[in-house]
Structure 1
Amino acid sequence: MRTENVEILSDQTNAAIVRHPGRAFPGVLVQGDSLHALCQRADSACKEVGRGKPGFDELNDLRNALWFYLNHYKATLMEHGIALPFSEQQSP
């Protein structure tokens, strides 16, 4: 872990806009629990549309991209001994 200054353009809850040093454009900081919720919604949408149906492949690509970010987030928190801000228990 390292500490650097970032530019905070907006600190709106669940939608902070920050620019990392060395980057030309800012990014949106999505909280881990919000990212987890987006992944769950993408899973539900893929299930609802159904494999092989129109639009499924594009939706599944979006779902996979969200899960990539969430898995990176989870691995990073685990590496630093930080608890997840959400439960990974599957709902019935």
Structure 2
Amino acid sequence: MKIKTFFCAMWNTCSKLKSNSTAIKETLYEMDWSSLRKDTKFNIITMMIYTSKPIVISSGFVIKINISTFISIINASYSAFNVLQQMVKK
């Protein structure tokens, strides 16, 4: 139960990361660009391009993982770890 609570808290943090990653682009767009140097403007545009896609947790860069999938993967991993640990003890 403690492990599930820990990973739910971690997932909540990851969800905040996703929403904050999109907020970076919006904040950069709303800046006053007229007073900046040309190289700084280029760097801001580059950062906006990199932050246009939100940060998401994925499995092997293929599937986007939701909370239920994430918890089931953790449970299966923990179960396999316990089985292997019991085999080593025997």
Q: TM-score surpassing 0.5?
A: no
Greater fraction helix = 2
Structure with larger RCO (C-alpha < 8 A, sep 6+): 2
Instruction: Please tell me whether Structure 1 or Structure 2 has the larger radius of gyration of its CA atoms.
Output: 2
Greater fraction strand = 1
Normalising by structure 2, we get a TM-score of: 0.35
Normalising by structure 1, we get a TM-score of: 0.34
